[in-house]
Amino acid sequence: MTTTSPAAAFARGAYPYLRTHADRAYLDSAATSQRPDAVLEAEDTFARTEYAAVHRGSSMATGEATWAFEGARESIARFVGAGEREIVFTENATDSLNVVALGLSDAALFGAPELAIGAGDEIVVTAAEHHANLIPWQRLARRAGAALRAVHVDAQGLWTIDDLAAVVGPRTRLIAFAHVSNVTGLIAPVAEVVQLARSVGALTVLDACQSAPHLPLDLGALGVDFAAFSSHKMLGPTGVGALFGRAELLDSLPPARTGGSTITTVTLEGAEFLPAPQRFEAGTQPVTQAVGFGAAADYLSGIGMDRVRAHEAELAGLLVDAVLSVPSVRLFGPGAGAERAGLVSFVVDGVHAHDVGQFLDDRGITVRTGHHCAQPLHRALGVAATTRASAYVYTNADDVARLGAALAEVRAFFGADR
Ligand code: PMP
């Protein structure tokens, strides 16, 4: 297990990218996070000394590699309050959400009629979703002849449990929503959504892509049916993600991808699938990345997610203050003082979001610009693009101060004050 002292984990020195670019303020962790030495070393050690095929074969090499791979699954399960059989390795959160949607669309054909969504049923999303948690449901709805209903968001991109309740009805079969918005930083009332979903017999799918890295998360206690998250946003490598599903649901959900390693028996006519998680892990898995993902979960557990959240809540306050201290900046999401995740999306009146991003980049401040894969949300905000600054464990007050100082100059630079 990879452990670290919390103090070291909050210091930039633990992260090779940040050491290499000591002059940069990296404020783009909501897009992807930087890996600490401990995670890179775990990947490297596995690749150099334990790398072999997993699950297939009876050699000692396979046994050792399988031990590391399954150990990573255990770490991730522990990290999010799941049972080991409830964590499936996927490519990323996008893939996890597609696995659920594609599986449900095949439910009637492949022995899970209780999960089938049919004509006249309803799937509910919010208008604030990342495209990864929208397009798979559009496809499922179309295949099933079901209706896709969206929860209204206000001009700040916010929605409440009452807004959701207004859309949920007796035909609602599934509610898919982000735990934390990657644009507004809004933290959804998950327990209340689960309660509402249960009251009408609907499944819940939680997009935990922006919450698993940043908040203490106990999926078992929250009671969601499925959840999706990515390794690369939580100090791990790209190429691997996780799907959480309640064990009994995963055991009956048809696998989206079929092939080797997923089956008990195959005949020329058909196949019987293994229980979860193996039924979903078709073909050779990204084993080295999975080991890195497990090391990242251990690393974050070692810091303590309460500490991570406290650090980011403080940075969120600083980010809000930095942005609001600049005249002619419009900040979206929860108002000043309200709870939000450690990110801010904003526009500077009179200057395009991409120009703001370029201006900041020229001053060594890395941010993200664009619609952040949330076009319907940006439509509701009334802008085509925003500039987003996002924090993580290694972000410090200095990074935020640099952002604030640079933003104070941006309108003058582009002549917007004249
Ligand atoms: N959902 C949210 C809220 C996200 O922020 C992201 C990543 N931007 C995703 C889903 C998709 O994650 P990935 O690209 O790792 O699949």
Indicate whether 284 and 186 sit together in one domain.
yes
Indicate whether 98 and 220 sit together in one domain.
yes
Q: Say which of 112, 167, 373, 408 is annotated catalytic.
A: 373
Cα→Cα distances 200→26, 125, 156, 175, 273, Å: 44, 15, 29, 11, 30
Cα→Cα distances 56→168, 173, 261, 270, 284, Å: 45, 38, 8, 21, 10
Indicate whether 64 and 155 sit together in one domain.
yes
For residue 371 and ligand 1, the question of a CB distance below 6 A is answered with no
Indicate whether 78 and 170 sit together in one domain.
yes
Residue 374 lies in a domain: yes
Q: What is the Cα–Cα distance from 107 to 104, expressed in whole angstroms?
A: 5
Q: Whose CA is nearest to atom 6 of ligand 1?
A: 209
Q: In what order do the strands lie in the sheet with 226-230?
A: 87-90, 241-245, 226-230, 203-207, 172-178, 122-126, 147-151
Indicate whether 106 and 26 sit together in one domain.
no
For residue 203 and ligand 1, the question of a CB distance below 6 A is answered with no
Is 209 an active-site residue? no
Q: Could you give the number of structural domains in the chain?
A: 2
> Using alpha carbons only, how large is the chain's radius of gyration in Å?
22
Indicate whether 112 and 202 sit together in one domain.
yes
Give the pLDDT score at 34: 98
Output the pTM of the full model. Answer: 0.97
In angstroms, what is the span from residue 228 Cα to ligand 1's centroid?
9
Indicate whether 225 and 350 sit together in one domain.
no
Residue 418 lies in a domain: no
Residue 24 lies in a domain: yes
Q: What is the Cα–Cα distance from 157 to 382, expressed in whole angstroms?
A: 10
In angstroms, what is the span from residue 56 Cα to ligand 1's centroid?
31
Residue 1 lies in a domain: no
Is the Cβ–Cβ distance between 51 and 311 less than 8 Å?
Answer: no
For residue 207 and ligand 1, the question of a CB distance below 6 A is answered with yes
ipTM greater than 0.85, yes or no? yes
DSSP 274-303: PSTTGGG--SS--HHHHHHHHHHHHHHHHH
Give the pLDDT score at 3: 55
For residue 4 and ligand 1, the question of a CB distance below 6 A is answered with no
Indicate whether 223 and 310 sit together in one domain.
no
Q: What is the Cα–Cα distance from 171 to 8, expressed in whole angstroms?
A: 51
Indicate whether 204 and 316 sit together in one domain.
no
For residue 234 and ligand 1, the question of a CB distance below 6 A is answered with no
For residue 298 and ligand 1, the question of a CB distance below 6 A is answered with no
Domain end among 268, 302, 336? 302
Domain end among 280, 302, 324? 302
Among 94, 97, 217, say which to mutate for ligand 1: greatest number of ligand atoms within 8 Å of CB: 94
For residue 209 and ligand 1, the question of a CB distance below 6 A is answered with yes
In angstroms, what is the span from residue 164 Cα to ligand 1's centroid?
22
Residue 100 lies in a domain: yes
For residue 295 and ligand 1, the question of a CB distance below 6 A is answered with no
Give the pLDDT score at 55: 87
Domain end among 233, 267, 302? 302
Domain carrying residue 24: 6-36+304-413
Ligand 1 atom, smallest distance to 95 CA: 16
Give the pLDDT score at 5: 78
Among 90, 130, 229, 231, say which to mutate for ligand 1: greatest number of ligand atoms within 8 Å of CB: 130
Indicate whether 154 and 32 sit together in one domain.
no
| Residue 240 belongs to domain with CATH number | 3.40.640.10
Would you write out the chain's pLDDT as a tens digit for each of its 418 residues?
555 677 888 999 999 999 999 999 999 999 999 999 999 999 999 999 999 999 877 899 999 999 999 999 999 999 999 999 999 999 999 999 999 999 999 999 999 999 999 999 999 999 999 999 999 999 999 999 999 999 999 999 999 999 999 999 999 999 999 999 999 999 999 999 999 999 999 999 999 999 999 999 999 999 999 999 999 999 999 999 999 999 999 999 999 999 988 999 999 999 999 999 999 999 999 999 999 999 999 999 999 999 999 999 999 999 999 999 998 999 999 988 899 999 999 999 999 999 999 999 999 999 999 999 999 999 999 999 999 999 999 999 999 999 999 999 999 999 998 7
Indicate whether 296 and 356 sit together in one domain.
no
